[in-house]
């Protein structure tokens, strides 16, 4: 992996040119997706079945996956897989339970009661990619916070497969508690969730990753429904020094590089010797990976190791990058937590390898990418609820504030506002 020395912050940020990663602005994709959405709105299930035959080469009679198929997949799944999914589920539940919010009521002013109630969304849709990108762990990460929030119905869509939907995916869906599963993928699946068809129910929010067509579809239906985020390529940043093990750090960097040729593995260190050791380890380890071609392209085109003057500069660089995942491979790593301002999820210490968070630790692995960790947060319970404010006034309390209300209304040129309050007393 290339090693960068004597670089300014601006020069390092040029290495993280996310504009080239954001393919969702391609005009031809935008136009194709718009056409697909319009067709689904107009023709419903008929359009979905036609697209399945066209894109997935699968002819469907029914879009919904029978419950019997889901139960059979769970029953026949390898017990080690079931045990791993249940362990992950328990840890995700125990972590996200702590995120559950309560509303409030206050009566600090005489005659005035104010408050906020937390209300779960009625229905949520989860998109699960097909093929090798169908990750059972992501089903748990999307669904469990929604269940804890109290969402009424959770619907999953996933592209139809010639040999049927994968056993691990269906088993994970059962463990997570998904209510309905439909065999539909691509932009057409997003359109179906956003607008509803004869079979697929309309939802209030859509979560889950997908290819460029799915990403553009989510962008286009936003406003009709809520979405989690527009996910970009995976990223990992590492801050490390000579106290870390270069073999372990290299392995962690490759854990994200194998996702995608556009994935971005990054490390910042004050030690040139350590930088060279990690780079050598990456060159050695990548040769034995089953996804060698993908990981090698990621390392060569998107990866870098930056050598900086000290750890303070390392944190400055990573806070500016705002990576999806950030590992702190330093002794007594917890002491550095407050120096981290921008990151999706942080892994502190030599044993907190990033895949621990992908699978079993409990914190969510649906994270902001592309630098959006500057203002976005990981998926959580709060993403599946809405806050509703309420207020009630006694007549005396309203009279006490009548003048302030009417004054402000008339300053803003809104006479009817002022008269609405005055009508209670005139």
Tell me how far apart the alpha carbons of residues 328 and 349 are, in angstroms, rounded to a whole number: 6
Instruction: Name residues whose C-beta falls within 8 Å of residue 425's C-beta, 6 or more positions apart in sequence.
Output: 399, 402
Residues in the chain: 426
Could you list the residues known to form a binding site for substrate, using ranges: 234, 256, 259, 325, 358, 412, 417
Catalytic residue, from 258, 324, 329, 354: name it.
324
Give yes or no for a contact between 326 and 305, defined as CB atoms under 8 angstroms apart.
no
From the annotation, which residues make up the binding site for NAD(+)? Answer: 127, 188, 211
Q: Which residues are annotated binding-site positions?
A: 127, 188, 211, 234, 256, 259, 325, 358, 412, 417
Active site residue 325: yes
Helix/strand/coil for 330: coil
How far apart, in whole angstroms, are the C-alpha atoms of residue 53 and residue 401? 65
DSSP secondary structure, 94-131, as one string: HHHGGG----EEE--STTEEEEEEEEE-SEEEEE---G
**Catalytic residue from among 281, 325, 327, 329:** 325
CA 42 to the chain's CA centroid: 30
Question: Tokens 């206050």 map to which residue?
Answer: 106
Q: What is the distance between the alpha carbons of residues 367 and 352, in angstroms, rounded to a whole number?
A: 17
Q: Are strands 345-348 and 385-393 parallel, antiparallel or unpaired?
A: unpaired
Identify any residues that bridge with 306 across adjacent strands, giving them in sequence order. Answer: 4, 268
Integer Cα distance of 133 and 135 in angstroms: 6
Query: Which residues belong to the active site?
Result: 324-325
């Amino acid at each position: 992996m290339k090693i960068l020395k004597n670089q300014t912050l601006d020069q390092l940020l040029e290495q993280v040119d996310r504009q080239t990663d954001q393919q969702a602005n391609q005009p031809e994709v935008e136009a194709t997706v718009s056409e697909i959405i319009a067709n689904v709105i107009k023709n419903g299930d008929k359009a979905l079945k036609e697209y399945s035959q066209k894109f997935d080469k699968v002819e469907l009679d029914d879009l919904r996956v029978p419950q019997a198929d889901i139960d059979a997949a769970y029953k026949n799944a390898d017990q080690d897989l079931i045990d791993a999914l249940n362990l992950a589920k328990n840890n995700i539940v125990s972590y996200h339970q702590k995120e559950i919010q309560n509303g409030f009521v206050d009566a600090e002013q005489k005659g005035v009661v104010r408050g906020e109630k937390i209300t779960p969304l009625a229905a949520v849709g989860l998109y699960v990619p097909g093929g090798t990108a169908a990750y059972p762990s992501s089903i748990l990460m999307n669904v469990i916070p929604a269940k804890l929030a109290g969402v009424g119905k959770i619907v999953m869509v996933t592209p139809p497969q010639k040999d049927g939907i994968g056993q691990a995916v269906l088993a994970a869906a059962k463990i997570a508690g998904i209510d309905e599963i439909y065999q539909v993928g691509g932009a057409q699946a997003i359109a179906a969730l956003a607008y509803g068809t004869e079979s697929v129910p309309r939802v209030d929010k859509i979560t889950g990753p997908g290819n460029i067509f799915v990403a553009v579809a989510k962008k286009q239906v936003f406003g009709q429904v809520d979405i989690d985020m527009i996910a970009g390529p995976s990223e990992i940043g590492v801050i490390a020094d000579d106290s870390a093990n270069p073999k372990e750090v290299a392995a962690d960097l490759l854990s994200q590089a194998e996702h995608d040729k556009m994935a971005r593995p990054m490390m910042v260190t004050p030690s040139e010797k350590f930088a060279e050791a990690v780079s050598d380890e990456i060159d050695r380890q990548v040769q034995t990976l089953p996804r060698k071609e993908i990981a090698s392209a990621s390392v060569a085109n998107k990866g870098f190791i930056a050598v900086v003057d000290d750890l303070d500069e390392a944190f400055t660089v990573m806070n500016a990058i705002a990576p999806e995942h950030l590992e702190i491979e330093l002794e007594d790593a917890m002491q550095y937590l407050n120096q981290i301002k921008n990151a999706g999820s942080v892994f502190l210490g030599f044993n907190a390898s990033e895949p621990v968070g992908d699978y079993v630790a409990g914190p969510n692995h649906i994270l902001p990418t592309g630098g959006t960790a500057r203002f976005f947060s990981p998926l959580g319970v709060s993403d599946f609820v809405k806050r509703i404010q309420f207020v009630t006034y006694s007549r005396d309390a309203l009279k006490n504030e009548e003048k302030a209300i009417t004054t402000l209304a008339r300053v803003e040129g809104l006479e009817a506002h002022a008269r609405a309050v005055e009508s209670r007393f005139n």
